[in-house]
Amino acid sequence: MNSPVPPRKPIPQQQRTSISSKDEIEAVLRTRSMLISGYVTQIIQIETGLTQKRVRSISHDLQREGLFVERRSRTLRSSKTIIQGQASKVHASILMVLYQNLGGSPTINTINTTALTKSYSLYLAILQELPESDQKSWGEKLSISDAWALAREIRTKDAAVLNCKSCKAEYFEAVHESTNLDCPFCRPLFPSSMLSNQVELPVSNRVELTA
Ligand SMILES: [Zn+2]
């Protein structure tokens, strides 16, 4: 007699009564701010609880108002695709050390998007001061969404900011990154021409980035 109970369909956002109009307004304002900062839709959905359709509609509203919203085709990445070598590990380390310094210890249990957005602005400013290199990867900056992905890995304990015993710099280390390198600051950044034979450069050529 008992027929199996079909799984419940998720309740559409607009029918949920738990979200008050105040929460809705806050979610919309946060979405606008995150869109302007350049976060991908997927992250905004996770952070605000709004549907993809709603986020896109807010994005269109912003554009109609003449506000710049960068169109990003890039989807959400992880440290596996973000950290492919020394240069990207230096980038990730600068960004995540700034984030942990600004966000403090709560960043271990939660993603602080305010601290993240602020640290991303500082990271962009620091990029202007980086020494020159002919390595293509050296000039490839991380996106704000990459920053969020790395921050999430800190929260899920798949990554952490560690202290290097050798050079004492702090650096970002992820379980799933695509490099076996530990501290990215302990060795010079090789110009592309030297990558093939891995010639050791003198320590004086080491990239000092933790000013
Ligand atoms: Zn080191």
Decide if 59 is inside a domain: yes
Domain encompassing residue 96: 79-205
106 CB-near residues (< 8 Å, 6+ apart): 112
CA of 162 from ligand 1 middle (Å) equals 10
Whether 83 and 112 share a structural domain: yes
Structural contact between residues 84 and 178, judged by C-beta atoms closer than 8 angstroms: yes
> So what's the pLDDT on residue 58?
95
The answer to whether position 1 is within a domain reads: no
* pLDDT of 138: 83
- Do 160 and 113 reside in the same domain of the chain? yes
What are the structure tokens assigned to 195, written together? 């990558």
Run of H or E residues at 81: helix 79-82
Average pLDDT, the chain: 83
In a domain, 124, yes or no: yes
Q: Tell me if 133 is assigned to some domain.
A: yes
For residue 70, the CA-to-ligand 1 centroid distance in Å is 36
Residue 158 lies in a domain: yes
Residue-level pLDDT at 74 = 63
Total of domains in the chain: 2
Q: How far is the CA of 168 from the centre of ligand 1 (A)?
A: 6
Question: In terms of domains, do 177 and 84 share one?
Answer: yes
Tell me: do 131 and 39 sit in the same domain: no
Choose among 68, 76, 40: nearest CA to 56: 40
Residue 83: predicted pLDDT: 94
Residues 149 and 188 in one domain: yes
Same domain? For 57 and 142 the reply is no
Q: How far, in Å, CA of 137 to CA of 125, rounded?
A: 18
27 and 57, same structural domain?
A: yes
Exposed / middle / buried, residue 61 (Cβ in 10 Å: 0-12, 13-18, 19+): middle
Q: Domain check: are 83 and 169 in the same one?
A: yes
Whether the CB-CB separation of 166 and 186 falls below 8 Å is answered with yes
Separation of 160 CA from ligand 1 center, angstroms? 15
Residues of the chain where predicted confidence (pLDDT) is lower than 70: 1-19, 71-74, 190-211
In a domain, 210, yes or no: no
Classify residue 74: in a domain, yes or no.
Answer: no
Q: Are residues 112 and 196 in the same domain?
A: yes
60 and 88 share a domain?
no
Indicate if 100 and 43 belong to the same structural domain: no
Task: Tell me, yes or no, whether 69 lies in a domain.
Answer: no
pLDDT of residue 8: 67
Q: Are 56 and 102 found together in one domain? A: no
- Residues 6 or more apart whose CB falls under 8 angstroms from that of 130 comprise 138, 207, 209
Distance 171 CA to ligand 1 centre (A): 8
